[in-house]
Structure 1
Amino acid sequence: MSVSQSTTKPEKPYPEFPLFPHTRGQWVKKFRGKQYSCGTWYDENGKSNHVAALARWNEIRNRLELGAAPQRKSSDQITTDRLVNLYLDAKNAKVEVGDLSKATFNQYKLVCRWLKDNLGEHRLVESLEPIDFVTLRSKFPKEWRTTTIKNQIVLIRSIFRWAYEAGLLDRPVRYGDNFSKPKPKRVKAEKAKSHKKEFTAQEFWTLFKHAPPQIRAWMLLGLNAGYGNSDLSRLKVARATGEWLDVIRGKTSEPRRCWLWPETRRAIKTVLKNHDGGELLFQSMFGQPLVAEDGTRDAVTGEFKKLREACKVDRKGVSFYALRHMTETIGGQCPGVPNVQVVVDFIMGHKDDSMGGVYRESIPDASIKKVCQHIRNWIMDAKPSRLRV
């Protein structure tokens, strides 16, 4: 990703200057509720470009007042290559201030590369028509699931929407009906045909029996506390040595609290016997966090995959994260707990944007413990009698 102009945001050359420096490297004017890009902050020699930008604005304003749509200069026209670079610059700025994860940013990069490869890097964005998006969708790999298609379409449309809202385009891009998200009915039908993302209790114990101590601790935390790969990777020793586990979930920044089973506590103590004294409870064999923050490495996925294959418990789509699905499903069936879904959401670290979530200050420990005990009873009832936990 490169930016040809200086990235130092300029001040207005004088207080009455009618344009403002937009974060996307353009002098911009807002007029009648719409933003108009009038040229870059700096010219190719690194000198202020505000005089040319003002002249461009006067040209646009004259056309608007005459009732004609403004015409862009060829130098201001946005190609696919320039669009994705500017978009990634904007998202990278969010990464730098902590508003976006590096892993999510890398997913955006992959989609941007795919978009550029399939539209052509020199294609003018404002020339795109619905027929182009019919062609674009036809290039989706045949093996993509409906949810993957949905996510790809949502993200691609968000890139073009961002460009319009940032003042880089004079009008929204028109996609046509063929570039809409798949219907919910189709998503549900495909989900109904796929494997459930959960292990049976017998499969859990088969895996557990053959797992080394660290993976046993992963599995118990996965089912007891609804911990996913990144949750394990971020878990600190200081947080995991008591009866209660309190953390802020990295993905949602939501507080979560869980009562740890005696078996989970013993498994953690076993891991600590060979611990190197570092801050993190778990590490890869190379002494690194289990999951790289940029999403490029995931030891949990790799090690658990080996275990599943060795135990012949390896179904497509049923990975370590399936344990989190089981926490949600089994915990939600706990009898005798008022608002049990609210309690499960708190254990899982789900975000609650409802009015109840805004005003709710606490959840009783008794309710949390009862849900955790319910999950424990479900799995322990199926434990082979000779297997020690």
Structure 2
Amino acid sequence: MSIHKASGLWCKVRKGRRYYFERVEDDPEGVRSLDQWLEVLAGREPKRSGAFLVKDACNEWMAHKQSKLDDGEISQDTWNEYFKTCEMTLAAIDKGTEVARLNPSDFSRLRSQLAKRFGPVALGKHIGQVRSLFGFALDAGLIDVPVKFGPGFVKPPAKRLRKQRAERGKQDFDADEIHRLLKTANRNWRAMILLGTQAGFGNRDVAELTTKVIDLDAGWMEYPRAKTGIQRRVPLWPETVEALREVIKHHPGGSDTMFVGHRGRDFTDEKRTGGNRITGAFKPVLKAAGFPETGRGFYCLRRTFQTQAEECGDLVAVKAIMGHSASESDMSARYRQEVSDKRLRRAVDTVREWLYAAEVKP
């Protein structure tokens, strides 16, 4: 039996799951907590005395998410998002508040604070996660009645999302803009920009890329996308192969990832609290090419690929390269076992012809 410092509760870990018991201040010797632990060993769910608090709900939810992370059902980035949601919830609602005493005014205050920090899309995501947090407490039998969120604790309407997209303006790059980026970028960013343009690589894709999944001699890359677990098989442009060879040739070592910055740090987040460093590191690249630092980011290259690759007329091949996960109702995707290399090449070659125009030979 040990003390969970963040919550002040006695706890015990068994088979990857953390069990929480009494507050240390209420059970200083851990006697009642030990009795509850014996209930766990006997196969029964322990019942804690005292009120179930907001911090307890967060701890239980994160313990549940940790087990999913350990089982490979969610990614570290997703776990980080849930953890951040708990932090913001506890910043707006006192952690010692009884869940049963929560009322719509608490969630109105939380929504107001979230709206000051995030745009409509991110706001809607965090609201959904907060609802999931307290929904889990109900489903797990930790509370007896549903939490009263009130009519205002809802995601922004679709009209607001459309308005935001219009205000953000262009979210892809044209061919001339990509050439501007390639012209001023160093070898690392040149390769990353090409991967984003020719294969729809996102921030995490390039941050966690390793040489193990690339066959430069054959000009192919094959691996499951970290975010979705969908297998991706990607034919590489000659320009991309050449750029990756340069990166490997000058790799400083010290990291298994393909891309390492000038200070010897890769682009993953060592503390596992913020996903990766691509977003911030790409801003100087944009600035060097004469772009404003706001409005577009590295992920816009992924949107560029999707937009241009669809001109090949084979959306299935485009989705395969992007690593998109199909919906459960898409029966064609469930029955389809593979997409031929010929179709994949046609998709990436369509983008190459668009980018290099007259320079590209049949």
Give the corresponding residue for 1:194. Answer: 168
Give the corresponding residue for 2:356. Answer: 380
CA distance in 2, matches of 1:122, 1:267: 55
Structure 2 SS opposite 1:7 = strand
2:94 is equivalent to residue 117 of structure 1: no
Q: Do the aligned partners of 1:202 and 1:382 also contact (CA within 8 Å) in 2?
A: no
Give the corresponding residue for 1:44. Answer: 30
Q: Deviations over 1:151-204 (max 9, x none)?
A: 121111111101101111101112222111122222122212222221222111
Structure 2 gap segments, 5+ residues each: 1-5, 22-27
Q: Deviations over 1:219-240 (max 9, x none)?
A: 1111111112221232222332
Give the corresponding residue for 1:172. Answer: 146
2:317 is equivalent to residue 312 of structure 1: no
2:354 is equivalent to residue 368 of structure 1: no
Code of the residue aligned with 1:323 in structure 2: it is L
**Overall identity of the aligned pairs, in %:** 30
Structure 2 SS opposite 1:139 = helix
2:10 is equivalent to residue 5 of structure 1: yes
Deviation at 1:9, TM superposition (A): 4.7
2:240 is equivalent to residue 264 of structure 1: yes
| TM-score, structure 1 normalization | 0.78
CA distance in 2, matches of 1:89, 1:351: 27
Structure 1 gap segments, 5+ residues each: 11-21, 27-41, 58-71
Deviation at 1:138, TM superposition (A): 3.0
Q: Do the aligned partners of 2:115 and 2:123 also contact (CA within 8 Å) in 1?
A: no
Structure 1 SS opposite 2:222 = strand
Q: Do the aligned partners of 1:226 and 1:347 also contact (CA within 8 Å) in 2?
A: yes
- Residues 104-113 or 243-252, more deviating: 104-113
CA distance in 1, matches of 2:350, 2:166: 27
Deviation at 1:208, TM superposition (A): 0.8
2:324 is equivalent to residue 350 of structure 1: yes
Q: Do the aligned partners of 2:268 and 2:275 also contact (CA within 8 Å) in 1?
A: yes
Q: Do the aligned partners of 1:164 and 1:170 also contact (CA within 8 Å) in 2?
A: yes
2:269 to 277, 292, 303: 292
2:323 is equivalent to residue 323 of structure 1: no
State how 1:3-42 maps to structure 2 within 5 Å: 4-9=9-14, 24-25=19-20
Code of the residue aligned with 2:138 in structure 1: it is Y
CA distance in 2, matches of 1:329, 1:138: 35
Kindly tell me: are residues 266 and 308 of structure 1, through their superposed partners in 2, closer, same or farther at Cα, counting changes over 3 Å? Answer: same
CA distance in 2, matches of 1:213, 1:276: 13
Give the corresponding residue for 1:334. Answer: 312
CA distance in 2, matches of 1:182, 1:359: 36
2:121 is equivalent to residue 147 of structure 1: yes
Q: Deviations over 1:331-360 (max 9, x none)?
A: 11224xxxx221111001111132122111
CA distance in 2, matches of 1:273, 1:308: 25
Q: Do the aligned partners of 2:9 and 2:20 also contact (CA within 8 Å) in 1?
A: no
